């Protein structure tokens, strides 16, 4: 038996559990974002910033189909988050 087997088994099991958890959380977040965006398509609000109401620029929207905010509001949010 390889001397690392015991250690490797536990570490790999931990790693698998962690990855599964992360994957699940990410999938849930992305699903919620996608569903939210679909609702906005239904209501006609899609493509407009939720914060300032401006059109979200197309480049940003193409890169992030479920974007809720225009790039300037999104960067303001990030700056606020950094400050607090």
- How far, in Å, CA of 68 to CA of 53, rounded? 10
**CB-wise, 13 or 79, nearer to Zn ion?**
79
Residue written as tokens 């939720």? 50
Residues 20-49 interacting with Zn ion (rule: CB under 5 A): 49
- How far, in Å, CA of 54 to CA of 30, rounded? 23
**CB-wise, 2 or 62, nearer to Zn ion?**
62
Least distance to Zn ion, CB of residue 30, Å = 22
- How far, in Å, CA of 38 to CA of 78, rounded? 24
Least distance to Zn ion, CB of residue 59, Å = 15
Residues 47-76 interacting with Zn ion (rule: CB under 5 A): 49, 51-52, 70, 73
């Amino acid at each position: 038996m390889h001397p690392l087997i015991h250690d490797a088994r536990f570490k790999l099991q931990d790693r698998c559990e962690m990855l599964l958890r992360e994957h699940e959380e990410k999938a849930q977040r992305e699903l919620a974002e996608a569903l939210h965006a679909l609702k906005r398509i239904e209501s006609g609000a899609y493509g407009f910033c939720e914060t300032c109401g401006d059109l979200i620029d197309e480049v940003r929207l193409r890169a992030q189909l479920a974007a809720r905010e225009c790039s300037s509001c999104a960067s303001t949010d990030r700056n606020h988050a950094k400050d607090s």
